[in-house]
Amino acid sequence: MSLFRNQWLCHPLTRSLFSKLLPRTYAAVFPSRPCLVWCHSLAHATTAPCSPDGVGQVVDNTFDASKMKVLKQKMELLGISLDNSCVPGQYHNLFCPKCKGGKLEERSLSFHIISDGEFAMWRCFRVDCGWVGQVFADDKELYGEGGANARSYGQIAEESLGLEPVGPKLVSYFKERLISEKTLNRNSVRQLSANKTVIAFTYKQNGLLVGCKFRTIDKRFWQGKGTDKILYGIDDIRNADEIIIVEGEIDKLSLEEAGFQNCVSVPGGAPGKVSLKDLPPIEKDTAFQYLWNCKEYLDKVDRIILATDNDLPGQALAEGLAKRLGRERCRLVHWPKKDEFDSYKDANEVLRYMGADALRRIVENAEPYTNAN
């Protein structure tokens, strides 16, 4: 534990948050077992040489020392210095050259060389840094910063979680909801290989798998640990001036069918009711922690369209978001009437019954949030 002396740990109220976040960090960099709930502990982090790549379960001790030398040289170029304790197959906590471990100078960089010494990968677990990357022990390009080059790693992570591309059953499930295969693929929607009717919404950041939410066709949900801590689709709003926030992954996919990629979904649906209390301090604002974790993305945005569900929890969610994001830059979508009594419930319902063009128009006609209430 001493290696993980972290500013959050000094704050007893945030201890549980930290313990939730940490497995996610490890899962993202080192998914080791084909289990659905990521199961790393701190003890594993420093002592257990478990297979990180889902390929070889057997630790290969015959790795080439020359590979190690190449890795070392490449790492040094990036400012990561490896001492002799850094051996393949184990996890190490090093100083991050990007953020220097923040004020507390913590060893925030989770670093791992896979057991055959082929490549090394890392992630800084400080929220405001999050540096990720990998280097290979051959003459391939130096890989850093996540991005396209991290994708090969992402595939390995998906396999080790038991995910595979969606098959005919789920493709037709989504087709009924007017969501195309193209949209499923672009958003890396997967299925469980063990049960081909379970949808896996992959949560990615910088192209790396950082969480996963599962949903059965009959609408049961569960998720990998830590998944509820970032917005779904966060990479899609990296450079956006205007973004849309919806209440579920399928609504995000629906908006993509209407031509909007600059959309994210909250990870956990809506809270039950509007809280009339003042905002809690950030570290106690657990219900909206995902928002704070994505703050650097959201701060840059000029206009935010809230397209939550047309029911009380949906309104409560919109209110909770507007309060935190600033009402003045928020707009609210009004879902149209279905008949004399009811209105459409959400983006996917509008897509199915009114079509993509109508959905697009409705979102474009969102009204300033302050006037909406």
List interacting residues with Zn ion (CB under 5 A). Answer: 96, 98-99, 124, 126, 129, 131
Least distance to Zn ion, CB of residue 127, Å: 10
- 230 in Cβ contact with 28 (< 8 Å): no
Closest by CA position to 92, among listed 45, 38, 31? 45
Least distance to Zn ion, CB of residue 79, Å: 11
CA distance 29 to 22: 11
Residue placing its CB nearer to Zn ion in the complex, 96 or 179: 96
Sheet of strand 163-165, all strands in order from the earlier edge strand to the far edge: 163-165, 189-192, 198-205, 208-216, 221-223
Least distance to Zn ion, CB of residue 15, Å: 21
* Other beta carbons within 10 Å of 37: 12
* Other beta carbons within 10 Å of 194: 11
Least distance to Zn ion, CB of residue 100, Å: 7
Q: Which residues contact 102 (CB under 8 A, 6 or more apart)?
A: 7, 108, 126, 128, 129
Residue placing its CB nearer to Zn ion in the complex, 119 or 131: 131
Residue placing its CB nearer to Zn ion in the complex, 67 or 98: 98
Residue placing its CB nearer to Zn ion in the complex, 92 or 98: 98
Angle CA 345–231–286, to nearest 5: 95
Closest by CA position to 97, among listed 115, 118, 111, 114? 111
Least distance to Zn ion, CB of residue 187, Å: 28
Least distance to Zn ion, CB of residue 125, Å: 8
Residue placing its CB nearer to Zn ion in the complex, 150 or 258: 150
Residue placing its CB nearer to Zn ion in the complex, 131 or 136: 131
